[in-house]
Structure 1
């Protein structure tokens, strides 16, 4: 169903690790660690500024992959893994993108399910990778039938 999308990549989109967004995110996940929030703690750290929580990239814009049409509802977020070269620094610009890595199907008790594997990336201004994340989007039989119509 989505095998033709394997290898397709979105354009890079500029995102900013904004202090207010980091604060709201930390509050929402219940992790008020001073390295995320307190400027003095950030200045005294080895990074010389505050950093964002590890799952913060979830809020970034990763662009659009042309011709990849997923429904707005009915998808299941299967998993998410992050790999960091270094932390995200509060105030920095990050250029983010998505690549379709794989698509496969498995038989479940309610019919066939599709698994769309996506890789997100975030780079600094010089093009150096800061983080990558991989995720699996599960497309249920009911959603798959709706897409074929």
Structure 2
């Protein structure tokens, strides 16, 4: 179904770790830790400024992988992992992109399911990887039938 997409990637997209967005994100996940929202705490920290919560990269734009078309509903969030080289610093620019890592299928009790593995990258302005995000999306038999595949 998506085997031909393996290895394809999006162009890099510039993103900002904006103070206001970090504050709203921290509040929305119920974690208003001072390292995320209090400027004085950030300045006194070993980072010298505030950092973003670990799942903050969910708000970034990773560009579009040309040809990758997923249905708008009916997908299952299978797995998601983040790996950091260092925290995201409030005020910094990051360049993010997506790579389709794998696609495989398995048979289950509800029919054939597809597993789409995607990896996302966030790099600093020097091109150093700051974080990676690995995720697996499950495409059920029902969704596959709706897509006519």
Q: TM-score band (shorter)? A: over 0.9
Q: State the SS of the aligned residue for 2:142.
A: helix
> What are structure 2's unaligned runs of at least 5 residues?
none
Per the normalisation by structure 1, the TM-score is 0.98
The corresponding residue for 2:96 is 96
**Aligned positions of 1:41-52 closer than 5 A:** 41-52=41-52
Shift of residue 108, structure 1, vs aligned partner = 1.3
Partners of 1:73 and 1:63 in 2: how far apart?
20
The SS at the match of 1:4 is helix
1:118 aligns with 2:122: no
**Gapped regions of structure 1 (runs ≥ 5):** none
Q: TM-score, normalised by structure 2?
A: 0.98
1:16 alignment partner in structure 2? 16
Please give the secondary structure, in 2, of the residue aligned with 1:26: helix
Report the 3-state secondary structure (helix = DSSP H, G, I; strand = E; otherwise coil) of the residue aligned with 1:148: coil
Provide Cα deviations, 1:29-84, integer angstroms capped at 9, x if missing partner.
11111000000000001110000000000111110000111111111111110000
Q: Distance in 2 between matches of 1:116 and 1:20?
A: 33
Match of 1:27 in 2: 27
Counterpart in 2 of 1:78?
78
Matched positions, count:
149
Moved over 4 A (4+): none
Aligned to 1:139: 139
